[in-house]
Structures are given as C-alpha cells and as structure tokens.
Structure 1
Amino acid sequence: MSDNQAPKQPTRRGFLAGGGALALAGWLGGASGVARAAAGHAKAAPAKDQEAFYGPHQGGILTPQQQNSYFAAFDLADTAKRDDVIALLKTWTDAAGRLTRGQPARALSGQPDKAPLDSGEAVGLATARLTITFGFGPGLFSKNGVDRYGLAARRPEALVDLPKFNGDQLVPEKSGGDLSIQACADDPQVAFHAVRQLAALADGVANVRWVQTGFASGAPGGGTPRNLMGFKDGTNNPSPKDPALMNQFIWVGDEGGWMKGGSYLVARRIRIALEHWDKTELGFQQEVVGRYKDSGAPLGQKHEFEPLKLDAVDKDGNPVIPDTAHSRVASPQENDGARILRRAYSYNDGANFTAERWPPWRQGIEYDAGLFFLAYQRDPRTGFIHINKKLAAMDMMNQYITHVASAVFACPPGARPGGYIGEALFAGL
C-alpha cells in the first residue's frame, strides 16, 4: 500500500510559493487565516522527490541510498508508561508520513502565543527522497531486569545483545538505545530537520541518547559509494532488486511473529586510522581489502561485480586474494553463505587525541572519522554476529580500524495508513 492514498496537503516548497513571507510567519508561529488559505492552494511536491513512508516494509532499507544520514538513538524516560510509548509511536508515525511528503511534522494550528510548531530550517527545501526508519532496542522489552511495559515475553529471539568482539573499544555513551530513528535524504538539512522534529515530539517520553551523522557520495549514475579509505563500499551486497534474496537474508519471515516483514539493524561506529592508512603503499592497501582501489574489482579480475575467485593462486602458488583480506573473510563463501545488506555512511566528527592500538602506536591528534556501519538482516545471529566473529579474529583491516560504538535494533514492518509503527507488537496487550 502506498502513502499516495493519503490526502493531498501543502508541501514546503509549494507553501512558500503560495504565501511568501507572510505564510512562512504564520506556519512557524501557529498561523493566521491568511497563511492557512495560502497553504490550501499549494502545489504537491514532485513525485521524484518523495519516497513512500507507508507500505509492507519500512523505507530506508531497500531504498536506493541517499547521500546523507542522521541517526538518533533514544532512551525511554523512567516515568514513561506503556500507553505513553504507544502514543509516541502513533505520533511519530503520523509525523513521519507528513515529513516524507514534504509537510511539517504537525498540522497547523492558530496559536500565535505558543512556540513555533516547526523549527523552520527545511522551509523551501525539496523533500530530497527523505526516508525515516524506526527501530526498537532491547531496552524497550526490559531494562536492568525490569519488564517496564509488559513486553519482555514478546522480545524476538533474534534481538540478541551483541557479544564483545576482539578489539572492541566501545564507548557506552555512544552505544545502545531503547528506540532509534534514521533519517536519510539527499539534503543533510532535510535529514536533520526530520529527526529534530521527531525528537521534539518525544519530549517527556523519550530522550536522545546519542546521534551520528553520515555522508555517502556515489559515482555519477548511481555507482557504489566510496568510504574514507578510498575503496568502494557495499559491492558484495545482495541485490535489493532480487525479492528472493531479500526474503532469504533481509526480511524476517514467519518465525518472527509480529516482526514478520521487518528487519534487524546492527549499527557500529568504526573509527579509521586515516593517518596510518594514508601512509600505506597502494599494493598493500589492495591486499588488505582484496580489491583494486580504482575499479573495485576483486584482485586478479577486471570488473567490480565479478564474483570473488577465492581459489585463484599466483605463479608462486599464493592466493591472489590473501587469506586475511577483508573481502575474503567477509564473503559468503567463508561464512556458511551468510549475507547482510550494508547501508553504511562515512562520518567525520573533527579530530581528537588518540592512542593507536597497532604499530606504529602513534599518539596525538588524529581525525575522528571513519565508517558508520549499518547492516540489515533477517537474523543477527546468523548474519552480522557470524560474520564479524571471523572478521574480528582474521581481518587484516583490523590494524587500521577500531569499533568504538555499537547498537542493535528490531525494525518492525512498515505501517499502514491509519496504523502505526510496531502496532503488531502491542496488539492484544
């Protein structure tokens, strides 16, 4: 079902065109009749700018990757009750449906003596293919041994706490969360605006725990994005255009109960020692990754999407793709066929004092930059956890990267118009 069935309402760009500064003042402040009248004659945003919010699956999972991401994890307030959580999810669902259509998160109302209903930084901007994806963390089901909302028995078996992997240096304040929101858009201000409005609507029920911005720039024509190491990132993804693969590896099946049609998200903030990497010879960089830097092709081959030939050897009998190369260690062939859908974004959070954990053990001010790794899968136990145990033990790339934050979320199936995200979880309670 498409949210094209939703009633036509004013959009950000059409609203400005219809009423100018006077309409803007009314919109942000709660509004005059003149502003509402102008809004009523606004034109709909072009369909090319919009991604459907309502449907069997949440947007932002199989959606062609946008250029910017704003991710926020939330903690539910100690005073929040189950009815408060349900009310919040209903409010968030309605607001997300509006935002992805280029509308303000809340309907206009005539309250000029109140704070603005919308922060206003996205006024006049395109919808920019905005998607909003919601997730439920383990803390929604129980926290510190307490079943806060009567949901503990409904925690999916697949929503496991991630184990500590070799080399992890996780920062607790940047990990975990009871709820998550990821807004992706081709305009960073549109993505931030969406999360900002949703966070405001959660006031008194949920508080922001941590946030992470990200960017991804693909090649002209929609090529695979490159990460900050300069290599293409996500080449070996299962194709989102293949329904059979998505049903096998990404969407939860009948085993998931209320999660059927949803997916599990693993989020990992991975800092890259860029200064160290930039001093590494090209040949060794390519051996670390197992691919050529320019084309993305597997070593020994010419084209990016050629399958890995893990049995190929050179004239001396050595593997063309080294045994510890990242692409080999992460491949389905080396992991009992396990596959996940990477939807990662690079991040750059300035610079910090850092002590490297690998030779040359450099200490000093370094870029706080790397990869905000996001991966969707049918079951983290047979997906990310299975793969990352091997990566943590064998991946040659570990001498350049450190996992510094981590979270796991159950992303429910999509909402229907008139319903709300996670409705099936609360059904019958």
Structure 2
Amino acid sequence: MLSLVRSTNTPHTMKAQLFLALVILISACPAAEDRRDAGLSVVMDGGVPSDSGPCQGLCLADQVCFENNCWDACPCAEGEFCDEGVGICRSGCQVDADCPLAQRCVDSLCEPGCGSDERCASPEICDQEVCRAPFCEVRGDCETGENCLSGRCEEVGTAPCEEAPDCGNDWNCSSYGLCFEGECLVHDDCDGSQRCVESRCVRRPNTDDGILFERRFPGYAASHNSRLPFGETTGYGFGGALLDVDADGDLDLFMGSRIRAGGDASPPCIYENVSVPSRLDFRPWAPGCPMDDAFLHAGVALDLEGDGYDELVVLGNYRARLLRFHPQPAVTDLINQLEEDDPRRRCVVGAGLPQDLNMDGRIDLMLGCQIGANMGDLVRMVNMTFLQNDQGQLELVEREAVAAWADPGSTLGFGGLDIDDDGLQDLLVLNDTFS
C-alpha cells in the first residue's frame, strides 16, 4: 500500500521516497513465468477476475487470479492446455490437440510424433509417426488394382462402386455395382450378343435345343475333399445341403466329410455364397467352417421359424444335430430323444426331408437310417419322424399314424411331391436294393 506522509523534506527528497515505494511495490508482484510455474497440484476452487480477490491490482487485464497467483486465461498458447475447472492455462498437455502439429501428448508432455493425418499440416500425411508428403494424388499414381485414398495407394478389389474412379487403377465399375478387372464381371457388362465368361465377353452359344450346360468348378467348394474311413471298401460317400444361412437371398453350401480332417481331407464346412452373375464363388464361412465334429457327412436345410435364416440338421454315424445360427448359435441333439436301448442310436443317418406332415403350417422333419458298414447283423433301422411344436422345437413321434413311414430297409434318400394332384404331399423312399 502506498501512503502519503507529510514531511518537511524538500521536493527532491519526496520524489526519491515515492520512487523507492513504487520499486518495492512492483517487485512484490511475481513475474509471469514465476506465476505459471507455481506448481499447483490440486484445484479446489475456481479462479477469480484479476481486479478482485487477493491478486487485486497485481495481474494483467486478461489474467485470472487463482490461489494468490496470476494465470493466463483460456484460450491457451501452444505448449499449454486449458484447465477448464478454473479457466486457466497450464504448461504441458492433456490431449494431442494441446500440442503443436506433428507432436503428440505423452505423459502430459508434447513429444514428436503425429499419430494421425489430422496432426499434420495439409496436405501432408502421417507415416510412421512422421508428417510427410502424400504417396499419391490420383489413382494413376498407384499400381493396378490400387486406388489413391487419403494420399496412400490401397488395394480396392471388388469393392462397391458407382463409377470407374471408385475402383483401383486399370479396374472398371460393373453394371452390377462392383469393381472388376478385365472386360466384364457379369453378362450385362457385355453387349446383347455376348456373355461374360472368366472376365471376357464371348459370343452367346446357339443350340438346336435352346439350352447349354457348362461345368463349373467354384474355388473352395470344388476343392472340398473326403474319403472313406480306413478299412472300409464300400460306403455312402459324403453329401451336403443348400441353405441360406445369412438371409441374404443367396443359397450357401454345406459340405460334409466321412473322415477326420488332415492331409488331403477337408472338414465339414459351410461355404458362403459370394457369387455374381456369370461366376460361382463360395468362401469358407467363419461361424460354420471348420466344424468341430469331423464325422458329419450329410445335411438337411430347413427354416423352422420362417424368418429367412435357415437352420441346418447335420447327419453322420449316430449323429443328427440341429444347428441354429440366428439370432444366437445353438445346437440340439435329436438322437438324444431316442431311448437308450433304441437300435437307431447306432444308425448311419444319411437322408432327410423337411416337410409339413400334419399341415399345421410348421415345418417337420423326416430322417432316414442307413445300415453301417460295420453292422454285420443288419439290424432293422426304422426311419424317424420329428414334428415341430409351437415352441419351434422338433419332437420325435412314434405314433401309428407314421408307421407306414417307418421303412425297414436301408434308406438312401427321400422325396416329397403331390403325385396325384389332390393337394396332399406324397412321400418317396429310396432303398438300397439288398435291404
């Protein structure tokens, strides 16, 4: 505080005293750097304007008084961050945005490193923590099949597209809405007199019968392989089933196996249908390939709930399991519904037919028993009938109404159709000749 005291000193003496008092007063106010380095560790209350409180008359107009010190008010300069609780600028950082470009916030300190393109000055990109010039500007700067995305050449492949620039270099956008390499992806990419075969537009065939069949070998599915177990010289081989496992309207493919996977043997597997017009393409579907049980040689597809997501009944030696994939994976062992002493627990389940047997609007299931190669006594195997209840579960029925269905032979296959056009489905049973 500066006070005036009457004195008999000369005017020169009074000026000296006043100057001394001002020097003392100014030196009592801490320097800006001293104020910022006060080392506050805990914020208990907010700052107050510099024209009030304990710092009254000590801080600059744009500063804030906090715990008897003057602090710069937010917003802050580079190398500082805003302590929003009190509205003051502190040295260091809390997030990357508190640091200059090309630096990151690490342990409250700004260190070299960009982390992302946003931390570089445009048009630079962040590459291995260093801001640098882009690798490309247009897709022509990239290799075949690559496009320039955010300054980098990236493989695009058969990505969705609307026009050619959406695709990789030297690739085109198909009328089907996917990128492709070559002359065509689907038939509509060619003119009306041509069709697409292996990415080339070729002349459409003309035959006297008006139809032509071609054999195709779609990748993974064509290479699926199995064989008879060691020691067996006769048997039923392996089969599969078509099902829509993901409700996309395309039929996916299940293929079974009769031997443990290994060597040239493939495990039971569901292959997802990713085909396009003109090209069959099936890829292993991760939730259903490979299956844990290697001895599932056949399957039956059915949609129990009618929701578009098919279920799959996998069949094998002493096996009949209902697999659900939607909304959650679930397994139901149908064989467990048989009595412990029922000989059908030893049957080779190799045929199945989904059918609404009792005309209640729900899909039911018939399963056919074959005779195993190791069953020298040729035990009589009666086919099994499962009706779907109102909870969506398949229940085994042994009633007299289905007795005619209980074929005593070795059932190889089933069929269902209305033979006599009376509105009722007739059932066909295919037997092995010796049985």
TMscore range, shorter length: under 0.3
Q: Which has the higher contact order (CA 8 A, sep 6+)?
A: 1
Q: Which entry has the higher C-alpha Rg, 1 or 2?
A: 2
Point out the structure with the larger helix share.
1
TM-score (norm 1): 0.22
TM-score, structure 2 normalization: 0.22
